[in-house]
């Protein structure tokens, strides 16, 4: 059985925590920032956990994450 390839585009977007949960960055922090509040910017800076339904898809794309 050959090794599975990792999709590098997905590997750059997700990270696995020590407990095995997969975390992602939040959208909306690249441009059009002048009208967004500082508290909103701070909340966008934190990482979020992916949903249970998406976890299977990410694991398939990044088998060695």
- The domain spanning residue 42 has which CATH number? 4.10.410.60
Q: Identify whether 23 is part of a domain.
A: yes
Domain that holds residue 26: 8-61
pLDDT tens per residue, range 15-65:
999 999 999 999 999 999 999 999 999 999 999 999 999 999 999 999 998
Q: Identify whether 51 is part of a domain.
A: yes
Q: How far apart are CA 1 and CA 17, in angstroms?
A: 28
Q: Identify whether 3 is part of a domain.
A: no
Q: How far apart are CA 8 and CA 64, in angstroms?
A: 11
Domain count for the chain, please give it: 1
What pLDDT, on the 0 to 100 scale, is given for residue 33? 96
User: Is residue 1 scored above 90 in pLDDT?
Assistant: no
Closest CA to 62 of 17, 14, 26: 14
User: Is residue 11 scored above 90 in pLDDT?
Assistant: yes
Q: Identify whether 1 is part of a domain.
A: no
Q: Identify whether 19 is part of a domain.
A: yes
The pTM of the full predicted model, rounded to 2 decimals, is: 0.79
Q: Identify whether 2 is part of a domain.
A: no
What pLDDT, on the 0 to 100 scale, is given for residue 55? 95
């Amino acid at each position: 059985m050959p090794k599975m390839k990792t999709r590098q585009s997905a590997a750059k977007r997700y990270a696995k925590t020590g407990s095995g949960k997969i975390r992602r960055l939040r959208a909306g922090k690249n441009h059009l920032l002048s009208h967004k509040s500082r508290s909103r910017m701070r909340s966008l800076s934190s990482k979020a956990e992916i949903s249970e339904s998406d976890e299977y898809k990410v694991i398939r794309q990044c088998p060695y994450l």
